[in-house]
């Protein structure tokens, strides 16, 4: 299994970049709820040594800063504050209405831009060169900053791994809030993904306010619902 490291960040720092911003999103696939993006940059006080791997050797918690999908829910919650302590963090959220209006890909890009804007209000030394490293095979469109798209970046680029944790934990917490309002759907268990439980509850109760009506499984339920 490929390990998440700071190798890319170290190379970019040596190339003259002052901040390497990792971006990832959570929630492209679910049938309900928002898509959430996290944007992170290692804190400037951590850059005393150009070899960032010294951080990993100094604290075993860094081992848990990896692809959020490879962590349990408890592990993600446990490491969330550690990420906040070691990175500047920005969050962007696009709700289900925006997903339905502009499609999930565009909503993901919009959430990423919002996360980046949030992050940049917290960065010191704004005059330093910035570069954005994005998980996946697509760059964020219409972005003035330099960027790289890294396929599988959440698995092996530490900053993207950290962003994936921020995005996933933030979104899961939002879905737990949704569960309190719509307990019959089991959002606390599946977080809006199309599990069998979710599909059964969707068939039984019909879509609720936060379901994405542009997604095919929800559209089918709406189409087949009895006319009033």
CB 165 within 8 A of CB 81: no
Q: How far apart are CA 43 and CA 164, in angstroms?
A: 17
pLDDT of residue 60: 85
Give the pLDDT confidence score for residue 49 in this predicted structure.
Answer: 62
pLDDT tens track of the chain, all 228 residues?
Answer: 578 999 999 999 989 998 899 999 999 999 999 999 999 999 877 776 657 877 777 778 989 999 999 999 999 999 999 999 999 999 999 999 999 999 999 999 999 999 999 999 998 766 788 999 999 999 999 999 999 999 999 999 999 999 999 999 999 999 999 999 999 999 999 999 999 999 999 999 999 999 999 999 999 998 886 655
pTM (predicted TM-score): 0.94
Nearest CA-CA partner of 217 in 5, 32, 9: 32
| Candidate CATH numbers 3.20.20.70, 3.30.420.10, 3.40.50.720, 3.40.50.880; the one for domain 7-181 | 3.30.420.10
What six digits make up the tokens of 184? 């019959």
């Amino acid at each position: 299994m490929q390990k998440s490291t700071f190798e890319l960040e170290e190379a970019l720092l040596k190339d003259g970049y002052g901040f390497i911003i990792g971006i990832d999103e959570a929630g492209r696939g679910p049938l309900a709820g928002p898509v959430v993006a996290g944007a992170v940059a290692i804190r400037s006080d951590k850059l005393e040594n150009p070899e960032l791997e010294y951080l990993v050797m100094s604290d075993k918690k860094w081992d848990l800063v990896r692809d959020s999908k490879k962590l349990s829910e408890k592990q993600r919650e446990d490491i969330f504050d550690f990420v906040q302590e070691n990175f500047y963090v920005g969050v962007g959220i696009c709700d289900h209405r925006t997903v339905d209006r502009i499609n999930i890909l565009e909503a993901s890009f919009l959430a990423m831009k919002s996360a980046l804007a949030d992050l940049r209000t917290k960065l010191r030394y704004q005059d330093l060169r910035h570069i954005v490293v994005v998980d996946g095979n697509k760059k964020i469109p219409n972005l003035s900053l330099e960027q790289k798209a890294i396929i599988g970046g959440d698995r092996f680029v530490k900053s993207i791994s950290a962003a994936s944790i921020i995005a996933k934990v933030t979104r899961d917490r939002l879905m737990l809030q949704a569960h309190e309002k719509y307990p019959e759907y089991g959002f606390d268990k599946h977080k809006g993904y199309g599990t069998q439980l979710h599909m059964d509850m969707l068939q039984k109760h019909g879509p609720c306010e936060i379901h994405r009506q542009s997604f095919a499984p929800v559209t089918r339920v709406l189409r087949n619902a009895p006319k009033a």
